[in-house]
Amino acid sequence: MKIKIRIFLITAVFVIFFAGVLYSYILLNSQNQKKTLSDKVITLALRQGVYSDVIKKQIPDFEKQYNISCIVKEFSESGLRNEILTDYESNKGEYDFCMVDGSWMAEYTENNVLASLSDLDYELDDDIIPATKSICYYNNELYLAPFYGNVTVLLYNKLLVKEAGYSVKEINSLEDILKICRITRKNHNYGFMYRGDTYNNIVVDFLPILLSYGGWVVDGYNNPTVNTNEFRLAMNMYLKLIETGRAAEKDDLITAVANCSAAMAIGWPGWYTPTRNSAMDYLALTGKAEKGGKSYNANIYGIWTVGIPSNSRNKEEALTFLEYIMNRSVQKASVEFGGVPCRYSSLKDREILKKFPQYEVVCQALEGGVYRPVMKKWPEFYTILGEEMQMIIRGEKDILTGLSNAQIRLQNMMNF
């Protein structure tokens, strides 16, 4: 009996021992596996605001599906541009994925900041609105993908437009806009609100007006075309609009139009999501200066594109993330939390339009949109132009003098 008990105890000890060894092996293997998975980490440099918010909403499902962790770092517009450039110049390779404003394309490609997506076997599909793709290529190679369809629209207050005797369908030209703003100003409110807080905002706010007269800031060779008849006509119209309102920063501008303090303003879909019961809504500019006049593409792109820095150490994982967030179904799902895809499958989807009817306007604006000039010196360009325009707006210079001075200064800057 004692022998049987000893044999049982010895057997139990061996069982417990081997069970412990097996458990330790499984635990160690599991920890090593987790470590391997956690090693798959990519860092995203994003434009803060609704643009980064949309991507952050998509990250959990991506991480779960691909076992790739994402670290998000958010920056202001100028902060993001400088951060990506600084990281490239210092060769840190801190970022694997980044958002890019179209106006940086020339600077980034000239300095080899971005990886070629074509070399990574990625191409854009036909569901993406064609005009939004133009900024994404350099020397016939793809470097960016249009992610967030930000484009200028005309913000308007429904009640004030109605009080001026107009329906939305009757706002067909700059003349109509000016008339509504003058009536509103005469009655009791501001008419046109404009962004006059920075030189960049002054210029961009004005560009849809300029395009509606068939003008532009440069020719096909990026030579300045500021001192022209089209530019003078557009500037004259802009001054008339400004007379009905005042300058404002973004939040003040939105509040004024939404609260019936102002009739209209140039804005962006990313600023505001109207509902059927909202006091404020937006429409795409027709590109006409006068009723019955010629229509031009007059909506300015502020599209946030996405790409991969050339010094990324995790290009394969970064490409997986880019492909994921650019996927049709993923982009369609992003609409629920503020996404504005540049895809027909999202912007013309019947179910989406039932809930977000303004996406029909966004689609029209994107189809008739224009990118800002692709030039390395664009920040210097808009600073000079904005400074001269501000002096005209303040009455310190007349239109002829201000635009003549701007033309000379811009030519000197571009030739330097």
Residue range 59-90, pLDDT digits in tens = 999 999 999 999 999 999 989 999 999 999 99
Which pTM was predicted? Answer: 0.83
What distance in Å separates the CA atoms of residue 410 and residue 404, rounded to the nearest whole number? 10
Q: Please provide the average confidence, as pLDDT, over all residues in the chain.
A: 90
- CA–CA–CA angle 136, 142, 145 (5° rounding): 50
Task: Identify the DSSP state of 247.
Answer: E
Residue of 327, 284, 336, 337 lying closest to 306 (CA atoms): 327
- At 36-59, the pLDDT tens digits run 444 699 999 999 998 999 999 999
Three-class secondary structure of residue 311 per DSSP: coil
Q: What is the pLDDT of residue 205?
A: 96
Distance (Å) of CA 152 to CA 149, 201, 206, 251, 397: 10, 12, 11, 16, 28
Q: Supply the pLDDT for residue 8.
A: 47
Mean pLDDT of the 269-291 span: 87
What pLDDT does residue 68 have? 97
DSSP state of 301: B
pLDDT of amino acid 6:
52
Give the bridge partners for 97, in sequence order: 44
Asked if residue 216 has pLDDT above 60, the reply is yes
Strands 137-138 and 141-142, by their bridges, are: antiparallel
**Per-residue model confidence (pLDDT) at position 39:** 66
> Pairing between strand 299-300 and 369-370?
parallel
Please give the pLDDT value at position 416: 83
- The Cα 373–Cα 222 span in angstroms is 7
Q: What is the pLDDT of residue 242?
A: 97
Q: Identify the pLDDT of residue 277.
A: 81
Which tokens sit at 84? Answer: 């990506």
* pLDDT of 393 over the 80 cut: yes
**Which of 39-43, 93-97, 193-197, 258-262 is predicted with the least confidence, judged by mean pLDDT?**
39-43
At 9, the pLDDT band (50, 70, 90 cuts) reads very low
Pairwise CA distance, residues 109 & 106, whole Å: 5
| pLDDT bucket at 99, cuts 50 / 70 / 90 | very high
pLDDT, position 274: 79
How do residues 288-305 score in pLDDT, each as one tens digit?
A: 999 999 999 999 999 999
**What is the per-residue pLDDT for 24?**
45
**pLDDT, tens digit (0-9, with 9 covering 90-100), for 234-273:** 999 999 999 999 999 999 999 999 999 999 999 998 787 7
Confidence category of residue 278, pLDDT binned at 50, 70, 90: confident
